Amino acid sequence: MDIIILENSDQVAAQGAAKLQKLLLDKPAAVLGLATGGTPIALYRHLVVEHQNGKLSFRDASSFNLDEYIGVRPTDPQSYRSYMQRHLFEQIDIDVANTFLPECAADENPLEVGPKYEQLIAARGGIDLQVLGIGQNGHIGFNEPSSSLRSRTRIKTLTRETIADNRQYFDATEVQPQLAITMGIATIMEAREVVLLATGSSKAAAIRQSIEGPVSAMWPASILQMHERVTVLLDSDAAAELANRDYYDWVQEQKRLLLHEIEGA
Ligand code: PGA
């Protein structure tokens, strides 16, 4: 794990965006794994600005989102489809036909959505870079604690804690969904690279458990300890409970020195 602790949330967003930008420069037809929630909004803003400045194109890219609510129409402002349109897709040059979420149409059997989504990801050659947030309970996507570490895209019931955490995004009159379709943990683990972003003190315990605790289905993000290429971008609040912080900072310093030496040679 590459654990990078930054001063503030904007640096987290900027470094996350830079990773996606580098991937798209190297591989314009990259397959992106995208996330919703409060954390990636600033990352998407960086991508939009780079696109507007003519430095980034998504023309040949495709994307797969982690999750979508069941029972919320795509046009509903609360759907993750709407979120993605608003924060990213409408402001860049991606072909919307190449953007996918595990959506369940009104006439569709929700049990069939997951396997079809998996096939679609495979048909596009798999995900090159998956962006993740993390829940206060350690969930990734909507893989709540006790999710099978080998799970695939499927229906999940949200925990009461997740429903409470997401209440802030709904008006008092809006009915909050309790079910979602989410990429599974095995699906996420198949991405060739993962970048997890966490900001704010509300994430500090989940980050400590996931990075320094044992691999456990009770802290789903802890499975990332078994992925080959993971970068964790944290602000200092989210990193506050890490016991080995000195070491992570030291590693980054050593990397900078080594890179300087190699590039200077
Ligand atoms: P947040 O959600 O970015 O809104 O905190 C993260 C998550 O639940 O995965």
Summarised one tens digit per residue, pLDDT across range 77-120 is 999 999 999 999 999 999 999 999 999 999 999 999 999 999 99
Inter-axis angle of helices 41-52 and 9-26, nearest 10: 50
- At position 40, the amino acid (one-letter code) is P
Phi, psi of 95 (to 5 degrees): -80, 115
The finding on whether 221 has its CB within 6 A of some atom of ligand 1 is: no
The finding on whether 74 has its CB within 6 A of some atom of ligand 1 is: no
Residue to mutate (ligand 1; options 43, 66, 156, 165; most atoms within 8 A of CB) = 165
The finding on whether 177 has its CB within 6 A of some atom of ligand 1 is: no
Q: In a 3-state reduction of DSSP, which class is residue 42?
A: helix
- What global pTM score does this model have? 0.96
Q: In a 3-state reduction of DSSP, which class is residue 206?
A: helix
Residue 204 near residue 237, CB atoms below 8 Å: yes
Report pLDDT digits (tens) over 236-245.
999 999 999 9
The finding on whether 78 has its CB within 6 A of some atom of ligand 1 is: no
For residue 256, name the pLDDT band (cuts at 50, 70, 90).
very high
Atom of ligand 1 nearest to the CA of 162: 8
Nearest residue by C-alpha to atom 8 in ligand 1:
135
Residue 220 alpha carbon to ligand 1 centre in Å: 14
Give the active site residues: 67, 137, 139, 144
| Per-residue burial over 147-160, b = 16 or more CB atoms within 10 Å of its CB, e = otherwise | bebebbbbbbebbe
Atom of ligand 1 nearest to the CA of 140: 9
Residue 248 alpha carbon to ligand 1 centre in Å: 24
Q: Is pLDDT above 70 for 52?
A: yes
The reported pLDDT for the residue numbered 164 is 92
- At position 248, the amino acid (one-letter code) is Y
Question: What mean pLDDT is reported for the chain?
Answer: 97
* CATH architecture for residues 2-264: 3-Layer(aba) Sandwich (3.40)
Beta strands in the chain, from DSSP E residues, in sequence order: 2-6, 31-34, 62-65, 67-69, 99-100, 129-132, 154-157, 179-182, 193-198, 230-235
Q: Phi/psi class of residue 46: alpha, beta or left (left: φ > 0; alpha: ψ in -120 to 50)? A: alpha
The reported pLDDT for the residue numbered 264 is 81
Q: Is pLDDT above 80 for 265?
A: no
**Residue pointed to by tokens 């400590």:** 208
Atom of ligand 1 nearest to the CA of 39: 3
